[in-house]
Amino acid sequence: MAQQAYVTETDNDGPGPEGRGSALRRLKDRTVRLLGRLRSDRRLWLRGLVLAALALLLALVMVVHAHIPNSIGNLGSLTETFLPWLGVAIPVLLVLGLVRRSASALIAVLVPALVWLNLFGGLLSDKAATGGDLTVVTHNVNAENADPEGTAQDVAASGADVLALEELTAAAVPVYEKALASTYRYHSVQGTVGLWSKYPISGVRSVDIKLGWTRAMRATVTAPAGPVAVYVAHLPSVRVKLEAGFTARQRDHSADALGEAIADERLERIVLLGDLNGTMNDRALNAVTSQMRSTQGAAGSGFGFSWPASFPMARIDQVMVKGIEPVSSWTLPRTGSDHLPVAARVDLATGS
């Protein structure tokens, strides 16, 4: 009996050139159909116009935040304090646009996404490096801290060469002095702020930030790589009130005074440690931020939010430098305070 020949049809969807060509043709066909539907189905464009408008408004706020006036409840500073959090609205608008099947909304959401990445995308990468010759830490220890001794031990364990503490009370100062004595040979407390150092300190004086009492100080720390001026500051708190908005006038005046003191500093290398009750985005701190670099922005990873400790939403505790190269920056684990400690490693030998 004659053998019957069978011919098997080749599957062109495989990994070979024919399969790839077939997949590309299907993708092209689907794209053409989708574009055709977008041209023909006006409902895809007319749906979600409100969402599209909200997306564009969000982008506009992020672009012109510096021009939002402070004359009404310091609205500009309030917006700038929580500016990164505006990005949370982007995925919300994206999901709503998908639910509504709105081409207009989905395209509009791309605008605030690109603006947010332009503003904050650089903070998402890890810029920390190795090296450096001085580790500094600042911590608002909270006047109502129930465990000052434990807090002192926690920050000392960080390995800081220079430690700044803010919101010290008269009753708590002896506790911190005793707990830190074995690690730090030199220290000075001025009003409600203090500086502890492994290296000699001199030229200590209070800094007048226009409050009527001392919440800022200056000292020279003689590190192995040379002297550096260290400022410790705790600017006045701000409040958000329905009837008054973002009340920050006292903080703003103190920031201006602190900026003047730093501008008059004779040493070229300066470190500012403290609770500034404001972020680097807040224009009200321009007297300080315009002449100094944030270690978090230059050598950190992420936003480095420090307050409130239970769910950090803003970086109001700052390590800033002038004439010094930041190497790394990070936040420390929670203590008994409502703030997180903030740390940085800097290179005094290589100024910027």
Which CATH architecture is the domain 134-347 placed in? 4-Layer Sandwich (3.60)
Q: What is the pLDDT of residues 88-97, one digit of tens each?
A: 999 999 999 8
Work out the number of other CB atoms within 10 angstroms of the CB of residue 313.
15
Q: How far apart are CA 119 and CA 62, in angstroms?
A: 8
CA distances from 68 to 37, 114, 166 (A): 41, 20, 31
Summarised one tens digit per residue, pLDDT across range 307-332 is 999 999 999 999 999 999 999 999 99
Whether the pLDDT of residue 165 is over 70: the answer is yes
**Mean pLDDT value across residues 275-301:** 95
- Residue 186, number of CB atoms within 10 A of its CB: 17
Per-residue pLDDT averaged across 335-352, rounded? 91
Tell me the mean pLDDT in the region 20-38.
63
Mean pLDDT on 108-137: 95
Q: How many angstroms separate the CA atoms of 256 and 266, rounded?
A: 18
Q: What is the pLDDT of residue 19?
A: 60
Q: Which residue would you say has higher pLDDT here, 287 or 238?
A: 287
> Residues 127-148, buried b or exposed e (16+ Cβ, 10 A)?
bbeeebbbbbbbbbbbeebeeb
pLDDT of residue 245: 47
- Strand 201-206 relative to strand 216-223: parallel, antiparallel, unpaired? antiparallel
Cβ neighbourhood burial of 264 (10 Å; 0-12, 13-18, 19+): exposed
Mean pLDDT of 10-25: 60
pLDDT score for 6:
45
Residue 249: predicted pLDDT = 83
Q: What is the pTM of this model?
A: 0.84
Q: Which residues pair with residue 186 across a beta bridge?
A: 197
pLDDT of residue 349: 86
pLDDT in tens, 188-222: 999 999 999 999 999 999 999 999 999 999 999 99
Of 224, 143, 155, 145, nearest in space to 184 by CA: 155
The model's confidence at residue 264, banded by pLDDT at 50, 70 and 90, is: very high
7 — pLDDT class (breaks 50, 70, 90): very low
169-185, pLDDT tens digit by residue? 999 999 999 999 999 99
Query: Which stretch, 24-33, 63-72, 235-244, has highest mean pLDDT?
Result: 63-72
As a whole number, the mean pLDDT across the chain is 89
Q: Mean per-residue pLDDT for 253-269?
A: 97
pLDDT digit string (tens) for 45-84? Answer: 678 899 999 999 999 999 999 999 887 777 888 899 999 9
Q: What is the pLDDT of residue 244?
A: 43
- Per DSSP, the residues of 150-171 read HHHHHHHTTT-SEEEEES--TT
pLDDT at 24 over 80: no
* pLDDT tops 70 at residue 33: no
pLDDT exceeding 90 applies to what percent of the chain? 75
Confidence at residue 9, expressed as pLDDT on a 0 to 100 scale: 45
> Would you place residue 134 in the very low, low, confident or very high pLDDT band (cuts 50, 70, 90)?
very high
Chain mean position to CA 60: 21
Beta-sheet strand order (sheet of 270-275): 201-206, 216-223, 226-234, 270-275, 317-322, 293-294
Q: CA dihedral defined by 50, 53, 55, 58, rounded to 10 degrees?
A: -120
Is pLDDT of 145 > 60?
yes
Q: What is the pLDDT of residue 243?
A: 46
Rounded Cα distance between 313 and 297, Å, is 16
Backbone angles phi, psi at 224, to 5 degrees: -55, -30
Where are the chain's structural domains? 21-124, 134-347
Q: Grade residue 101 by pLDDT with cuts at 50, 70 and 90.
A: confident
User: Band of the pLDDT at 240, cuts 50, 70, 90?
Assistant: low
| 272 and 252 Cβ atoms separated by less than 8 Å | no
